[in-house]
Chains A and B, each alone.
Chain A
Amino acid sequence: MHYHDNVDYPPLLSRPNVFFPLLAAVFAGLWWFNAGDSAIGRLVAGIIPEGASPATQTLATAVIVTAFLAFNIVVVMRLPLRQQVWLVWGELAVVILLFFYSFDLSFAFIQRKIGFLLTQGLVTTLYISAVSITIATILALMGAIAKLSSNGIAQGIAHFYTSLFRGLPLLMQIYMIYLGLPQLGYVVDAVPTGIAALSLCYGAYMTEIFRAGIESIPKGQWEAARALGLRPGAVMTRIILPQSMRVIIPPTGNQFISMLKDSSLVSVVGVWELMYLARTQGQTEFRHVEMMITASLIYWLMSIVLELIQKRIETHFNKAVTR
C-alpha cells in the first residue's frame, strides 16, 4: 500500500487457503495444456525414465514445475522486500529470455546483423523519437496554455487540434502527411513525415496531460503570485509550471516510452529505423524471428533507460514535498 498501515496482515502467499489453491491451479493448468508435450516438458524429459507414456510425462512435468514454483515462493518470501522485487524481476526476465531462446535462433546471423541494426536502425529511431518528443512537448505546452486562455481563437485551434490528432490513428496521420501533402504540391521526405506525425499526435495527447497538470495547482498559488505583482508569464513559468511538473512527469514518461515504440509505425513509409530494418534484414535469409527478437530487446532496453530517467526527474520535482 502507498501509505503503510501498522498492522501485520499475513502476506497473501503465506496463507494456506491462498497458497495451496494457487499451486493446485498451476498444476491443473499444466495438466490441462499437456505440459509434457511442450518445451517445458522437454526440459523435464531428461529426468524421467525414457519411454514413459505422454500422460506420465505431463504428470511429471506438472509435479516438478509446481514443486519448483512452491519452493521458489517459500524462498523469496523470506527475503527483504527490495531483494524480493529484484529477484522476481530477474526470474521473469530469465523466463522471457528462455522463451526467446526456445525459438532455436541463429546467433551467428544476429551477430552479423546487429551492428547495422544499431548504427542505422537504432540511431534513426532515437533521432526521430528525440526530435518528436521535443516538438510534442512544445506543442503540448502551447496547446494547454491555449486551452486555458481567454483567447477564443487559440481555444478553438487547440480544441480542434486535440480532437483531430487524438481521433485519427497514428498510421493514418503518417499516410496523410506522406501521401496527402504532395497533392498540395509539398513533397515531404519520409523522416520529416515521421517526425511531423509523431509530434502532432503525441503533442495532442500531451496537451491534455499538461492542461490537467496546470489545473491541479490550487487557486491560492495564482492569487499569491498575482498579489505580489508577477506578470502572467512569470506566474506561469515561475510558479505554476514548476509545481505542475510533479503531476505532468509520470504520464509524460508514459507518452515518451509509448512514442519510442510507435516510431516503428514510420517504417511503413520506408524510413530505415529499427522496425523497418528488423523486417527487411530478416527477409533475405528467412530469419524473421531473429531480427524481431533482437529489435524487441533493443526497444525494451531503451524503454528501461527512459523509465530510469523518468524516475530521476520525478525525484527532482518531489524534493520540496518529500522533505
Chain B
Amino acid sequence: MIPAPQIAAGAGAGGAAIEILKLSKWYGALQVLHDVDLVVDRGERLVICGPSGSGKSTLIRTVNALEGFQRGEIRVGGVKLTREPAVVEAVRRNVGMVFQQFNLFPHLTVLENCALSLRLVRGLSGPEARERSMHYLTKVRIPEQAGKYPAQLSGGQQQRVAIARAIAMQPEVMLFDEPTSALDPEMVKEVLDVMVGLAEDGMTMVVVTHEMGFARQVADRVIFMDAGRIVEQAPPEVFFTRPQSERTRAFLQQVLPH
C-alpha cells in the first residue's frame, strides 16, 4: 500500500502547522533569537532568508527540538513543545528535516537509510519499509541507486536521498536547513526540482535558503531575518519588488544577480 501524502490531518486546510510565540534563545550571554513570532499554516510554503548568523537555522531547529530555547512557546500541529520524551518524539515523527550537510548514514545503503526509521519509528515490517522507501526514492528520481552507499553518490544525489528519507516518514511539515548550500552549482537544480515537486503535492514546507529563484517560484511567503529578529515578511512578489526595510534591500542587493 502506498499512502497518499498527508495534508492537514483533522483541522482542515487552514489550521496552523507551526505556531511560534515570543521565542527567545540565548547561547550563554548572547541572545540569538529575540521574541520571534511566526505562524506557519498547513500547506504553506515559507522561505526564510537572511545573512549568516541571523538565527534562521537556529529558529527552524527549535521546531523539532534539535535546539532548546529559554522563553516563549512553540506548538507543532497544536501540540505544545516541551522537553517531555513523549512530546518530542511525537513532534519529531510529524516533522521531517533536511540538512545542509545531508547527514546520510554512511554505513547504510541508500535503501537502508530510508527504511531504518520506517521500521524503528513507524513500526513497518522489513518488506513494507523497503517498498515504501523505493516509492519515495522513485519520487526523488533515484531508485536505481538504492543498493549503493552514500559515499558512492554525488552531492545532489545524496541530498535527494536525504529528502526521500525524510518524506518517507510522511511528516506533516518539512524543514529544510540550507539544503543546497553545500552542493556544487550544477547539482542545485536537481535538488530544487525535487523540492518544487514536493511543494506541488501540498507539503507544508519551511525552507531556509539563499535560492531566491526558488523563493519566487514556490514560496507563499518570504521572511527576512537579521540579528535574531524577523525584520520583514511578505509574499514573494511584494518581498522582491517592494521591500520595506533598508536591511532587506541591502541583503537582496547582495544575493540577487545584478
Contacts and interface: CB of A to CB of B under 8 A. Distances in A.
A59 B34 CA distance: 88
A311 interface: no
Contact of A224 (B105, B120, B151): B105
Contacts of A323: 149, 151-152
Contact of B103 (A220, A234, A242): A220
B71 to A, nearest CB: 23
Interface string A204-234: 0000000000000000110111111111001
B169 interface: yes
Contacts of A239: 105
Nearest to B120: A234
A317 to B, nearest CB: 8
A228 B121 contact: yes
Contacts of B252: none
A226 B106 CA distance: 16
Interface string B120-138: 1100000000000000000
Interface in B128-176: 149-152, 162, 165-166, 169
Nearest to B97: A227
A43 interface: no
A263 interface: no
A230 B106 contact: no
A320 B109 CA distance: 8
Contact of A231 (B89, B101, B150): B89
Contacts of B247: none
A85 B103 CA distance: 40
A320 B151 CA distance: 7
B165 A228 contact: yes
A229 B92 contact: yes
A229 B152 CA distance: 26
A243 interface: yes
A226 B66 contact: yes
A229 B121 contact: yes
A167 to B, nearest CB: 35
B105 A221 contact: yes
B117 A228 contact: yes
Contacts of A228: 92, 116-117, 121, 165-166, 169
Interface string B29-66: 00000000000000000000000000000000000101
A223 B170 CA distance: 19
Contacts of B120: 230-231, 234, 238
A234 B121 CA distance: 10
Contacts of B151: 320-321, 323
A221 B101 CA distance: 10
A320 B149 contact: yes
Contacts of A220: 99, 101, 103
A321 B101 contact: no
A238 B116 contact: yes
Contacts of B106: 243, 320-321
Interface string A283-323: 00000000000000000000000000000000001011101
B216 interface: no
B119 to A, nearest CB: 10
Given A229-B89, A321-B151, 5 more contacts: A227-B97, A239-B105, A320-B106, A320-B150, A323-B151
Interface of B: 64, 66, 89, 92-93, 95-97, 99, 101, 103-108, 116-117, 120-121, 149-152, 162, 165-166, 169
17 contacts: A220-B99, A220-B101, A223-B103, A224-B105, A225-B105, A227-B66, A228-B92, A228-B116, A229-B93, A230-B120, A231-B120, A238-B116, A238-B120, A242-B107, A320-B106, A320-B150, A323-B149
